[in-house]
Each structure stands twice: as structure tokens, then as C-alpha cells.
Amino acid sequence: MERHPDLANAGDSLLLVIDPQEKLVRMIHNREEVVETIRRLLRFASIFSLPVVLTEHYPQGLGYTVEEVKEALPAYRPVVKRVFSCFGVPEFEEALRETGRKRLLVCGIETHICVCQTVLDALHRGYLVQVVADGVGTRRPEDHVTALERLRGAGATVTTSEALIYEITCRADGEEFKKVLDLVK
């Protein structure tokens, strides 16, 4: 079936998890929801064999990926960075190229800093980007709302984890759907 080009699919998408680190997560106003959404997206990525790229920003100072996220990862191989946009690190661009995917499904921390700058740079490079609103977070709610508005205006699709999960699942008659139901209940 031919679908609208804005709809994500398992064949063109990768999950980008930005900086879900110990000292950062502690400060996020809706941290429990953000961490749980990231975990849900990682389980979903596993069902559909989506590649996962994880970043950590200056882990020596901000700590490493929180255990709740780490245990849901297919493998713990973070791209380490000291710049806000993930595109400032050649290893990041190489990790994306290796997947061959052109659509980034973005979650992580913080919406208005590393997430925002990375998404804008991804759009500039021709990637299709979907930002998972309940999977990104900030210390201050107004920064979160403002960043999502900015990203939408720049051309990113702002969605929710449940909408994205159903979008990629696409149908209710396969084995994947049965597995997905556990994630959205």
C-alpha cells in the first residue's frame, strides 16, 4: 500500500537517543515519563529491528546513560560528544551513514539544547526527523514547549510515542502488532 511520505516506516527509520545521562536525567521536570518513553521506544525498535544510535555528552562530568535506559539497549556503544549538536562529532555522522536510514526518530535530553540543535542540523542535512514529544525533556517546561514549536516550524514532525508506534506498526494483523500491544497498554 502506498503511504504518505511523512509517515515513518521500519525500513527508513532509526532511533536516536540523545544524552539520557545520570546527572541530566535527575534535573528533568518529567524525568519518569521521559525515561519510560525512551525505554518503550527501545523495546519497540527491537521488535522492528530499527537501528539505535545513542549519544552521551561529556560523560566524565554528566555521568553515563542511566541504568533504566542502558538495560533496554541492544548494545551499549554511545557516541561521546562535547558539542551540543550531535553532528559536531564525525563518529556520529558515520554511525548514521552506516545505518543507511534517512529518518531520525528522536528522543532524549534536553529538548531545547542538544535535541534542538541536533534536529536542526539533521534537517539541514536532508534527514526526515520525528521528535517524540513525550520522549524528550527539559528542566523547565517552557523550554520544552518552545523548543518543540521551533522544531515544528523548522520542518520536523512532532509526534508522541504511541502515535509513532502505531504509525510504524501500520497494521493489526501481524505478529509485531501483538508485541506492540504490550507497549501501549
Q: Confirm whether 99 is domain-assigned.
A: yes
pLDDT at 103: 99
Q: Confirm whether 5 is domain-assigned.
A: no
Q: Confirm whether 53 is domain-assigned.
A: yes
Q: Record the pTM.
A: 0.97
Predicted confidence (pLDDT) at residue 93 exceeds the cutoff of 90: yes
Top pLDDT among 147 and 176 is at: 147
DSSP string, 38-76: HHHHHHHHHHTT--EEEEEE-HHHH--B-HHHHTTSSS-
Predicted confidence (pLDDT) at residue 2 exceeds the cutoff of 90: no
Q: Confirm whether 6 is domain-assigned.
A: no
Average of per-residue pLDDT values in the chain: 96
**Would you give the DSSP letter of residue 86?**
G
pLDDT at 175: 84
Q: How many domains does the chain have?
A: 1
Q: Confirm whether 43 is domain-assigned.
A: yes
Q: Is residue 78 within 8 Å of 99, Cβ to Cβ? A: no
CATH number of residue 94's parent domain: 3.40.50.850
114, 116, 121, 134: the active-site residue: 114
**Would you give the DSSP letter of residue 132?**
E
Nearest-10 Cα torsion for 35, 48, 13, 180: -50
- Reply yes or no on whether 170 is catalytic: no
Average pLDDT over residues 136-147: 98
81, 86, 116, 134: the active-site residue: 81
19, 86, 107, 121: the active-site residue: 19
Model confidence pLDDT, tens digit, residues 54-73: 999 999 999 999 999 999 99
- Across the beta sheet with 157-159, the strand order is 79-81, 52-57, 13-18, 103-109, 128-137, 157-159
Say how far residue 132 (Cα) sits from the centre of its chain: 7
pLDDT at 183: 82
The whole domain housing 159 covers 15-184
